Chain A
Amino acid sequence: MSSKKIKNEEIRTASLLEKKSTRRNFLKGLSIAAAAGSAALTTGCIPAADAASTEELKLRWQEFFKKNYRLMTQEEKDATVARLERLSKLNANLDVQMGSYPPLDGVLYGYAFNITRCEGFMECVTACVKENNLDRKTNTQYIRIFEMEPGQLDPSTGDGQYYHEVPVDNKFYMGTQCFHCEKAPCTKACPTKATWKEPDGIVVVDYDWCIGCRYCQAACPYYGRRFNWGKPEIPKEEVTRRQHYLGNRIRPMGKMEKCTFCIQRTRKGRLPACVEACPTGARVFGNLLDPESEIRYVLKHKKVFRMKEELGTDPKFWYFID
């Protein structure tokens, strides 16, 4: 903050003290102090109360005291989404279309990964980064692909940082991401109930209720969660503007994030970005409750296994071989 602004603040505070105290003035001062306090809570400094930032201040104030997403009515969800859209416009001059659409009835999402087919091209990773507005500076990725020795099935034995021509003969490739466990240990670890499993099986995070303690990251046996150490940096023209409150909206600093099966796409019937980008057809996605779906075909006719199944986390992500 510039010294001039600080001086202005000092003058304002001083004039406030000198004024004759009436009930009206007292209440007015209180509200100014409260607004300043809320701004201080969210940003750590007091912004100048000029015309443009008054609106921002008001929106941030309302955002700060909103409920947990699960306790909101649809009107409240619409209101917070509208506020976040407006804030995005005010802060970054970005026109986003954010949604809070609910889960579909009779749908439980599931995923299958063909370890025979994956050839390690990693196009899923770039598609995911782009779709989900992941931080480019720290190279955050939800998906990891491991180059594995034959006979091994534990990704920790594989090479997750390869960069050479693929596929390498006599190696196979295994992708990991959030497995959206039915008995997700991460949701139990959260002290603020900011992460939970939706009725359609997607494990989500309310980024505004997350306090960034990273307990969930420690609880996840699959390394499925990522933490925002800084403010995400994304080139403006690359921002995916079609967003979901629980999905790919740009996360604030110090929040936990993870794969959401591209909730903003899948709840509208679309395939997740990784599935759409996969050049080898190694990724199968669909409704587990639909006996005619592709994912059910895989579970019924293929040799499938889940990672660390013995932990009892019941992941909805299967590996299979041809």
Chain B
Amino acid sequence: MTKLNYSCLFLLFFVGLSHSLGAASEKSVVDEIKNAEDRFDNRSVPLVEQVVDEAVLAKEEYQGGSFRVLARKAKIERYKCSSCHTDKPVTAQQGALLTHGDIILEHGSEDQGLSCIDCHHPQDRDYLEDKKGRKIDFDHSYQLCGQCHFRQKRDWLGGAHGKRVVNWAGERTVYNCTTCHNPHSPRFEKRFPATYSVELD
């Protein structure tokens, strides 16, 4: 009888062992990721490539703290706007060019698109203005765009929308809204792909 008991115990032991081994091999990388809660020092990574484009410290934070966004003002051809937009009336030779005749406005719904002063400050042309009447710097347009596109802004802050510049490590610098999107017609234009694929062997 004891012999039978022992063999039963033995069998149970093996069943248990194989079970735990099986469970161990089922462990997924997802579990490993979930358990990784220690902060990783991004600045400990030696970088070979630096961000060369001008960037400014963002006025908001992401999950890792402060970050930088690519500056916009340097890319606006005729900034500062107040050099033309003064109180005085302007007489210009190239009127069509200087009155932004080149801008195609395709932003907002089809029947009720946006107009200039929906985003631009009506008086101080060097700034943008949100719906609460706050002045917004051109470099921080995400504060303005985020009023309507709040889901995109949330994802952008977290890192699921837009992208980082040059490095995955080091100080976080991300593309601004206007780095990729033309604010006047933000949808990407249709075009031919950069290349094509051939059949796999």
Contact = CB atoms under 8 A, between A and B. Distances in A.
Interface of A: 104, 106-108, 110, 112, 114, 117, 119-123, 125-126, 129, 138-139, 141, 144-145, 160-167, 182, 223, 227, 229, 266, 268-271, 275-276, 278-281, 283-299, 301-302, 314, 316, 320, 322
A315 to B, nearest CB: 9
A287 B40 contact: yes
Contacts of B28: 182, 314
Contacts of A121: 191, 193-194
Given A141-B197, A161-B197, A166-B192, 15 more contacts: A106-B40, A108-B29, A117-B161, A119-B188, A125-B194, A144-B200, A269-B48, A275-B163, A279-B180, A286-B159, A286-B168, A294-B159, A297-B159, A298-B160, A322-B161
Interface residues of B, number: 49
Nearest to A166: B193
Nearest to A106: B40
A165 B37 contact: no
Contacts of B36: 108, 288-291
Contact of B29 (A123, A284, A314): A314
A270 B47 CA distance: 7
Interface string B133-155: 00000000000000000010001
Contacts of A163: 192-193, 196
B7 interface: no
A283 B200 contact: no
A115 B39 CA distance: 29
A281 B175 contact: yes
A269 B45 contact: yes
B45 A290 contact: no
B166 interface: yes
B193 A122 contact: yes
A277 B197 CA distance: 17
A223 B201 CA distance: 10
A278 B163 contact: yes
Contacts of B77: none
26 contacts: A123-B194, A125-B197, A139-B197, A144-B197, A144-B200, A163-B193, A227-B201, A268-B46, A268-B49, A269-B48, A269-B49, A275-B163, A279-B188, A280-B180, A281-B180, A287-B42, A288-B36, A289-B33, A292-B39, A292-B65, A294-B158, A294-B160, A297-B158, A298-B159, A314-B29, A322-B151
Interface string B32-58: 110011111010011111000000000
Contact of A268 (B47, B65, B161, B195): B47
Contacts of A278: 163
A191 B37 CA distance: 37
Given A122-B194, A166-B191, A291 B39 contact: yes
A322 B164 CA distance: 18
A167 B37 CA distance: 39
Interface in B166-201: 166-170, 175, 180, 188, 190-201
B111 to A, nearest CB: 20
A296 B159 CA distance: 9
Contacts of B112: none
A30 to B, nearest CB: 43
